[in-house]
Structure 1
């Protein structure tokens, strides 16, 4: 974690000059007041793309940490570039009013009920009106605001897809409601829960009890993650939990790792190519846009196909390569090998020769295509 923190700090310093964060004064009819909203727009923002929304409560101290991790992970293509929206809650008294609930039923009350509507009916529509947004939405909160974020789970159509709970101070009956609700979902939801070794005793006890219930959850649509950080107190756990939460929630977006390759792909009883298309279909379903298949993932699946000896997958990879990287030799290399495996050497030779004129990609270079063609000529005496 220390190594990660140092890398993150260096990265943040490197990109600070290009920061696109601004403060909006958002006039709220629901609250009858004007609120300070921080908005971070990705440096490469384009009208031709869409971006997930990450709402950060307690933004006056959590916003920078969320933005830094968003930039870092998206730079390495481990999560999509995102719009981060922070709601500042400077004063303790105002924060408590924002998150107010009825002591009897544990549901939002007074200003808390209005603040609930402000997020869903004013803040999110404001962002969606002014920026190109994807379907995926996440919310981040700490103690009181973490509890508050959970109320959006109970809408008939939940506002958020992912919930980062940093040492929540639960309202009455909240834990039972969370478990019941998460058991019901028929669409994918992500739920992260964190405490620390030196967290406040009352909060930690309830968090661990909830973890005990959620760890036995059998709903395949729920992706649940939990951390209990050693030596972390109620406040310090937040900066450790945010990168952990984001790394786990966006794990399906990341390029295929060595661990994923060894533990999942090599253990497949079905086609590795199907695994690849399913992965990218999940990304499309979750975020509402098509992600270009990374070269890393092409090569991982190619390696698995060779081990599985599933020759037809080479042909499918070739067609996908032509779609994703049309100016490169990816299509010609995969089709050349496909024709070799299916004992059609003349067609393989033609593919390698045609691939020589295309751009190199990864290990597939012009020299490699030339070598492949020469070897075929030697083998068959052409």
Structure 2
């Protein structure tokens, strides 16, 4: 039953070993006891002194931490998502009490109320004080803890932006509460939920009902994704849901995909250079992260301009490239292409020649740039 989940852990274990794992025992005044936590810091955390990182809080950290931490490290290595700090809270033997709620209001009670305050008032505060955290936080849980994480969503000012609910064991009234909150939220929220064809029947029934309710909402500030995995049990669905959830939350952060290229950039109603600017502006606004525009994204915009022959787009792109890759030939090349295709061959020739002494980048080197200049010289007899 756990085969697929175990396979995932095996696959990502070498990746985890490259990241920094810290094991701590923390003392909680709210719980009046100590708790074990595991923290994965991003690669090169100590070297990148000015960099700040989103935080992922993993409930059931005794078994969910490794799969989540492995996926985060693997995806961030390929720049599909930002690097993040992952903190797992071990709850072995304690999860039933931690996730407990009363039978009247169905809200955290007794140990559950104390655990709720421990996470929000002690653990996250400690993370902010000890590490360079960014103002974007995600919480992950499974069945009982997947229900529990929703209590943070119900607060007037939720401390988490992203919620990953894996086969939640929903408390009474929880579905209506979630739907009501998401329908009214005035801040962006990312909500992911998953079940499987072989999930526990009573859980699956409630999950499918909640999915129908959320799908009926009309709120552009809610980014929702739901998965119902074929041939997945209550436990094996976890290994498939974690990467799906992480991908959906950080969709805009990923490099420009072939789908984006074909369906967006090749449309003549879209300005490729403005699309690139807005993409990275969204990354900063959504996740609180300033990110240099990727070289491959510049090249995707370049290919789209060549394909659609919207040569005026090179003007803005050249300025952007010079800002993000100063001292290289990238901005010079885009500027030369702009002059060449908008009726200024002599200026284009001189711009290509200006690349001499600049750093090569991608397919651009001195020989390539001087040959472009010489071709213009031959064609126009300069």
1: distance between equivalents of 2:116 and 2:265?
Answer: 43
Shift of 1:135: 1.0
Matches of 1:95 and 1:124 in 2, distance apart? 19
Match of 1:108 in 2: 108
Structure 2: how far apart are the matches of 1:246 and 1:8? 16
Aligned 8 A contact 1:333 1:352 in 2? yes
Kindly indicate whether residue 377 of structure 2 is the aligned counterpart of residue 380 of structure 1: no
Q: What secondary structure, in the 3-state scheme, does the structure 1 residue paired with 2:149 have?
A: helix
The Cα shift of 1:312 comes to 3.0
Secondary structure class of the residue paired with 1:18: coil
CA distance, structure 2, for counterparts of residue 291 and residue 333 of structure 1: 23
Matched, 1:293 2:301: no
Is the CA contact (8 Å cut-off) linking 1:161 and 1:188 kept in structure 2?
yes
Q: 1:93-242 counterparts in 2 under 5 A?
A: 94-242=94-242
Per mean C-alpha deviation after superposition, the further-off stretch among 260-269 and 175-184 is: 260-269
Corresponding residue for 1:70?
A: 72
> Secondary structure of the residue that 2:312 maps to in structure 1?
helix
For 1:159 and 1:30, locate their aligned partners in 2 and report how far apart those are by CA, in whole Å: 18
Which residue does 2:88 correspond to in 1? Answer: 86
Q: Distance in 2 between matches of 1:293 and 1:259?
A: 19
CA distance in 1, matches of 2:9, 2:89: 23
SS of equivalent residue, structure 2 residue 24: strand
Distance 1:298 1:12 in 2: 33
Unaligned runs of 5+ in 2: none
CA RMSD, 1 decimal: 1.9
Contact 1:349 1:376 survives alignment (8 Å): yes
Q: What is residue 27 of structure 2 aligned with on the other side?
A: 27
How far apart, in 2, do the equivalents of 1:295 and 1:5 lie?
A: 36
The corresponding residue for 1:48 is 50
User: After the TM superposition, which of the residue ranges 180-189 and 321-330 deviates more from structure 2?
Assistant: 180-189
CA distance in 2 between partners of 1:16 and 1:229 (Å): 26
Query: How far has the Cα of 1:43 moved from its partner?
Result: 1.8
2: distance between equivalents of 1:186 and 1:114?
Answer: 28
In structure 1, distance between residues paired with 2:354 and 2:159: 51
Alignment partners' CA distance in 2, 1:106 and 1:307: 58
CA deviations on 1:52-93 (whole Å, 9 max, x unpaired) are 0000000000000001001110000000110000010011xx
1:47 Cα deviation after fit: 1.7
* Count of residues in correspondence between the two structures: 378
Indicate how the Cα distance of structure 1 residues 200 and 5 shifts in structure 2: closer, same or farther if over 3 A, else same: closer
CA contact (8 A) 1:146 1:164 kept: yes
Query: Which structure 1 segments of 5+ residues have no match?
Result: none
CA distance in 1, matches of 2:77, 2:282: 21
